[in-house]
């Protein structure tokens, strides 16, 4: 008799649990929506040519946007939450060549102090083009 009550209690607690940390805040979602408005996602690729990129624009602890010379926007969703990645921080690339690739590390610096905060790994790059 106690086991069903225990299971029901755990299920109720899980249902009332707060949203996972990786959910986007309304402010970050609005920033992402604005940056990608009128654009259509293409196929995700593993690497992009760094010489063509400007940015980055940090959306939140999991998403970074880059722009390239052709006005394409590249969205990078990190494979894991990176709590030190915030819009007020600076991203420093650790390049192994002329491309930025899935799995590459990025260093995160505190903007005010230029103090290294740690590093995170990049995910795949999804291009967003202006819709026709």
Structure tokens at 94: 């650790």
pLDDT at 112: 84
Answering whether pTM is above 0.95, one says: no
Q: What is the pLDDT along the chain (132 residues), one digit of tens a residue?
A: 443 333 333 333 333 322 333 478 999 999 999 999 999 999 999 999 999 898 799 999 999 999 998 889 999 999 999 999 998 899 998 787 899 999 999 999 998 888 889 999 999 999 999 976
The predicted pLDDT at position 96 comes to 79
Which pLDDT value is given to residue 27?
Answer: 93
Q: How much is the pLDDT for 52?
A: 87
Q: What's the gap between Cα 35 and its chain centre?
A: 13
DSSP the chain: -HHHHHHHHHHHHHHTSPPPTTSPPHHHHHHHHHHHTTEEE---BSEEEGGGEEEEEE-SSSEEEEEETTS-EEEEE-SS--TT--TTEEEEE--SSSEEETT-EEEEEETTT--EEEEEE---EEEEEE--
């Amino acid at each position: 008799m106690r086991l069903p009550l225990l299971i029901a209690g755990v299920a109720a607690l899980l249902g009332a649990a707060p949203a996972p940390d990786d959910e986007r805040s309304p402010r970050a979602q609005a920033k992402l929506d604005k940056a990608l408005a009128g654009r259509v996602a293409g196929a995700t690729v593993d690497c992009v040519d760094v010489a063509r990129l400007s940015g980055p624009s940090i959306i939140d602890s999991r998403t970074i946007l880059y722009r390239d010379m052709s006005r394409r926007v590249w969205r990078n969703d990190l494979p894991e939450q990176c709590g030190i990645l915030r819009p007020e921080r600076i991203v420093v690339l650790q390049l192994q060549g002329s491309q930025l690739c899935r799995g590459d590390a990025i260093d995160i610096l505190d903007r005010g102090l230029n103090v290294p905060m740690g590093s995170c790994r990049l995910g795949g790059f999804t291009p967003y083009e202006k819709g026709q």
